[in-house]
């Protein structure tokens, strides 16, 4: 018997004398597989007169491989070596008893083809290489299954996963159903232009509706020196009006003008303060902002959900379905972050089923210490 683990590493080997066991296996292939195959199909197939005709019949090659591997229990490597030996020295009459000077020429395989044949448990003669142009990972064609498969390592597949989620169309209702309302809310954001506009409107509204007294109290809460200056001016005016004491030798009219100026400065100061505060909430703590303004609330499970005024009459989980048309126009869903989260989850869990065009699972295989994933694909 040939030392298969040795010869499969050689390009071509010639034997002065082929071992008797190997001749017997070649004869058995004809007796148990090829001849019954020809008799079964009769005129429906051409006679298997050459190695080329043998290799062109996918079903027959598979039958030979299964006979060697499963029936004779030779194992994958030995079964493939015998097919190589058969192809290299094919005789149509099936008589190998006098075969001397045998030639052994193994089928050349690229690394990823070998990974696939070992995983699929089939002969390399059923696996074809394909044009790899435009593809990030190697692709092979399994002639027996009539299916293409991509073969890649984790880092190679990440780009494909990214492309999958970027190209996939998501309706926001679908995203809410997938993430839940809280997950959707957490990925909302306000663009810079809208944040500036809203912050300006809120600041103007707050300041314009504020009385002078409320303004001064707010300045005091902020420890603004304007509040101390205003109080000082009021005291000076009181001294003049009640006691006739004019410490600064300014008239009451001038002092009142200075008080008005402080109120004006105070309004500008509070306007800027409230603008900065609102802008920061919109861009850094949007959930808190939405809560304060009643856009969101919490359900019994203490999860953030949209308020009832943002729902329609349809019911889901005991509440009306969110009506996206009722959401403020300045609220945007962070699709990029959503995609990155999906990609990260897929990579962390090593889940690549979404790349399968047939909806199957990605097979994980180890070859020479490295992990590869095999996934069916439409080529």
Which pLDDT score is estimated for 245? 61
pLDDT at 244 over 70: no
pLDDT at 343 over 70: yes
Q: Mean pLDDT over all residues of the chain?
A: 86
User: Using one digit for the tens of pLDDT, what is the confidence trace for 110-159?
Assistant: 889 989 998 988 888 889 888 777 778 899 999 888 899 999 999 999 99
Q: Which residues does 129 contact at the CB level (< 8 Å), separation at least 6?
A: 110, 113, 140, 141
Instruction: Give first-to-last CA distance, the chain, whole Å.
Output: 41
Which pLDDT score is estimated for 4? 41
Which pLDDT score is estimated for 238? 76
Which pLDDT score is estimated for 187? 94
Taking each helix axis from N to C end, the angle separating 154-167 and 335-349, rounded to the nearest 10 degrees, works out to 150
pTM for the model:
0.65
In this predicted model, which residue has the larger pLDDT, 213 or 2?
213
Which residue, among 258, 262, 281, has the nearest Cα to 270 in the 3D structure? 262
Lowest mean pLDDT among 179-183, 243-247, 286-290, 327-331: 243-247
pLDDT at 347 over 60: yes
Lowest mean pLDDT among 42-51, 237-246, 275-284, 348-357: 237-246
Which pLDDT score is estimated for 328? 94
In this predicted model, which residue has the larger pLDDT, 172 or 51?
51
Which pLDDT score is estimated for 135? 78
Q: CA-CA-CA-CA torsion for 242, 245, 250, 256, nearest 10 degrees?
A: -20
Angle at 271 between CA 266 and CA 276, to 5 degrees: 130
| Average pLDDT value for residue range 211-226 | 87
Which pLDDT score is estimated for 371? 94
Query: Which range scores top for mean pLDDT: 42-51, 282-291, 303-312?
Result: 282-291
| Domain spans of the chain, in order of start | 4-108, 125-166+347-377, 179-333
The confidence band for 315, taking pLDDT boundaries of 50, 70 and 90, is low
Pairing of β 363-367 and β 311-316 = unpaired
Share of the chain above pLDDT 70, in %: 92
Beta strands in the chain (DSSP E): 13-17, 100-104, 127-129, 139-142, 147-152, 188-189, 296-298, 304-306, 311-316, 319-322, 332-333, 363-367, 370-377
Q: Which two three-digit tokens encode residue 88?
A: 């290299």
| Average pLDDT value for residue range 252-271 | 85
User: Using one digit for the tens of pLDDT, what is the confidence trace for 71-91?
Assistant: 999 888 888 889 999 999 999
Q: Which residues does 265 contact at the CB level (< 8 Å), separation at least 6?
A: 226
């Amino acid at each position: 018997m040939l030392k298969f683990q040795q010869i499969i590493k050689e390009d071509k080997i010639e034997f002065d004398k082929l071992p008797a066991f190997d001749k017997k296996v070649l004869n058995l292939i004809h007796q148990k597989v090829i001849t019954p195959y020809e008799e079964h199909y009769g005129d429906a197939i051409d006679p298997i007169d050459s190695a080329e005709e043998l290799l062109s019949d996918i079903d027959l090659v598979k039958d030979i491989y299964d006979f060697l591997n499963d029936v004779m229990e030779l194992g994958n490597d030995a079964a493939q070596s015998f097919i190589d030996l058969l192809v290299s020295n094919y005789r149509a009459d099936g008589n190998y008893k006098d075969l001397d000077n045998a030639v052994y020429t193994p089928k050349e395989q690229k690394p990823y083809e070998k990974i696939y044949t070992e995983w699929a448990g089939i002969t390399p003669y059923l696996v074809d290489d394909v044009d790899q142009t435009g593809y990030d990972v190697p692709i092979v064609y399994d002639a027996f299954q009539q299916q293409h498969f991509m073969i890649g390592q984790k880092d190679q597949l990440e780009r494909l996963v990214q492309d999958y989620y970027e190209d996939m169309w998501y309706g926001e209702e679908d995203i809410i159903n997938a993430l839940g309302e809280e997950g959707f809310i957490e990925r909302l954001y306000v663009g810079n232009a809208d944040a500036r506009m809203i912050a300006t409107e809120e600041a103007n509204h707050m300041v314009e509706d504020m009385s002078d007294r409320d303004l001064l109290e707010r300045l005091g809460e902020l420890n603004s020196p304007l509040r101390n200056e205003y109080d000082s001016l009021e005291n000076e005016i009181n001294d003049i009006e009640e006691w006739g004491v004019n410490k600064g030798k300014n008239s009451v009219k001038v002092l009142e003008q200075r008080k008005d100026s402080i109120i004006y400065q105070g309004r500008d100061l509070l306007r800027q303060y409230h603008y900065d505060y609102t802008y920061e909430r919109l861009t850094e703590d949007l959930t808190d902002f939405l809560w304060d303004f009643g856009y969101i609330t919490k359900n019994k499970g203490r999860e953030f959900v949209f308020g009832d005024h943002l729902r329609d009459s349809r019911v889901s989980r005991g509440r009306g379905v969110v009506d996206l048309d009722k959401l403020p126009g300045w609220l945007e869903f962070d699709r990029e972050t959503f995609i990155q989260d999906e990609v990260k989850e897929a990579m962390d869990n090593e889940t690549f089923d979404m790349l399968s065009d047939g909806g199957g699972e990605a097979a994980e295989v180890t070859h020479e210490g490295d992990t590869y994933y095999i996934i069916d694909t439409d080529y």
